[in-house]
């Protein structure tokens, strides 16, 4: 329960610098410096994942110090493994959300926390207590990484309680050997935690990694679509207007006339073409009024 709240809050913090970069146009400065979006997201992911890994170490230490009955050291390492795997789709979800919720840092943070809690601990409680382990709900909701994390950690705890129960049952049975418990107690033939059946964590790991792939593919598609939309020529090139001013010299006049005479076929051959950039700049901006230029391939 505690991890179901603490983990979403921790990973939601990573949206704050992303929103800050967009709000104060720091991302635009990086683009102007030549940083590609692929490199930008890769560097962000490596730094954020290293930071999140340090968070999981802290949570593991807290689990080690917490008096949880039957929770062995290996079980806490399994929980740490699940948290580290969760960091991959968790950061992917944060990156996708940062493309849409970037008005203010704290509103983006709160929205992200709410989304993670609703799709995580809240949905898992409904699945466990209200729907009583409904399989359809489980497979649909497992696409959310926080829900899969809750399922994996819950299975680790369930495995721990089953082992504790079997140890107590074996102690009460005179014919039971602790090292050959399966012969006397068939229901206690416990296997490794790395399995797809309950209580196992392989299904949760697969769902988290699958959601990570889809989230990063979605991130790439959204960024590529925005870049293509930003730099593509308008279909109606004739709607582009050129203006002249008394201070324009002969070279500027010729260039403006050349740009104004371009048709769609000629425009598409250029890497980019700009005409009257004042149409795109906010009126409160005084750093640049009008610019017209083109770049050959």
Answer whether 165's CB lies under 8 Å from 119's CB.
no
The token pair that represents 7 in the structure block: 């983990």
pLDDT at res. 243: 53
78/89 Cα distance (integer angstroms) = 18
Question: Rg of the Cα trace of the chain?
Answer: 28
pLDDT digits (tens, 9 = 90+) for 143-167: 899 999 988 888 888 887 777 777 7
Q: Which residue from 207, 212, 103, 190 is spatially nearest to 149, judged by alpha carbons? A: 207
CA 96 to chain centre: 6
pLDDT at 288: 46
- Which residues on neighbouring strands pair with residue 294, listed in sequence order? 273
Considering only 28-37, 177-186, 269-278, which range has the smallest mean pLDDT? 269-278
pLDDT digits (tens, 9 = 90+) for 217-253: 999 999 888 877 765 555 554 455 555 555 566 676 6
pLDDT value at residue 279: 43
Q: In whole angstroms, give the CA distance from residue 222 to residue 41.
A: 13
Rounded CA-CA distance 215/192 in Å is 30
pLDDT of residue 68: 65
- pLDDT-based confidence at residue 169 (cuts at 50, 70, 90): confident
Judge whether 98 and 18 are in contact, CB under 8 Å. yes
Residue 85: what pLDDT? 94
Q: How far apart are CA 120 and CA 5, in angstroms?
A: 9
Helix (DSSP H) and strand (DSSP E) numbers for the chain:
13, 2
C-alpha 147/C-alpha 86 separation (Å) is 10
Tokens of 104: 């203010």
Give the model's confidence band at 47: pLDDT under 50 very low, under 70 low, under 90 confident, else very high. very high
Pick from 81, 77, 101, 80: nearest CA to 12: 101
What confidence score (pLDDT) does residue 225 get?
86
User: Tell me, what's the pLDDT at 233?
Assistant: 52
Most confident of the following: 128-132, 150-154, 175-179, 251-255? 150-154
Mean pLDDT, the chain, whole residue set: 78
The number of beta carbons lying within 10 Å of the beta carbon of residue 145 is 30
Residue for token pair 């890497």: 271
User: ω into residue 69 within 30 of 0, thus cis?
Assistant: no
Q: What's the whole-model pTM score?
A: 0.73
Cα-based torsion angle of the residue sequence 91, 94, 98, 101 in order, rounded to the nearest 10 degrees: -170
CB 159 within 8 A of CB 199: yes
Residue 29, pLDDT score: 85
Residue with tokens 């992911």: 45
What is the token pair recorded at 219?
């991130």
Segment 184-209, tens digit of pLDDT: 666 677 667 888 887 788 999 999 99
How many whole angstroms separate alpha carbon 237 and alpha carbon 24?
Answer: 32
For residue 273, the SS3 value is: strand
Counted residue by residue, the chain has a size of 297
90-108 per-position pLDDT tens digit: 999 999 999 888 778 888 8
């Amino acid at each position: 329960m505690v991890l179901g709240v603490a983990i979403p809050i921790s990973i939601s913090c990573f949206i704050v610098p992303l929103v800050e970069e967009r709000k104060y146009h720091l991302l635009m400065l990086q683009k102007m410096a030549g940083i590609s979006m692929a490199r930008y997201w890769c560097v962000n992911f490596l730094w954020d994942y290293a930071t999140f890994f340090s968070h999981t170490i802290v949570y593991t230490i807290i689990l080690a110090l917490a008096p949880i009955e039957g929770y062995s050291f290996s079980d806490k390492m399994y929980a740490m493994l699940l948290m580290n795997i969760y960091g991959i789709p968790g950061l992917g979800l944060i990156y996708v959300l940062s493309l849409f919720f970037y008005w203010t840092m704290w509103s983006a943070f709160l929205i992200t926390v709410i989304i993670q809690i609703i799709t995580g601990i809240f949905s898992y409680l409904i699945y466990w207590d209200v729907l009583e382990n409904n399989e359809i709900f489980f497979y649909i909701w497992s696409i959310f990484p926080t829900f899969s994390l809750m399922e994996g950690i819950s299975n680790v705890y369930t495995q721990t309680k089953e082992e504790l129960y079997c140890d107590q049952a074996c102690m009460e049975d005179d014919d039971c050997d602790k090292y050959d418990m399966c012969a006397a107690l068939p229901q206690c033939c416990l296997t490794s935690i790395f399995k797809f059946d309950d209580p196992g964590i392989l299904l949760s790991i697969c769902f988290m990694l699958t959601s990570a792939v889809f989230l990063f593919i979605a991130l790439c598609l959204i960024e590529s679509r925005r870049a293509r939309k930003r730099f593509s020529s308008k279909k109606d090139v004739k709607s582009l207007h050129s203006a002249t001013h008394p201070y324009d010299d002969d070279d500027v006049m010729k260039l403006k006339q050349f740009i104004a005479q371009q048709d769609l076929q000629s425009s598409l051959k250029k890497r980019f073409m700009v005409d009257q950039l004042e149409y795109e700049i906010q009126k409160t901006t005084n750093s640049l009024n009008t610019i017209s230029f083109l770049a050959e391939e």
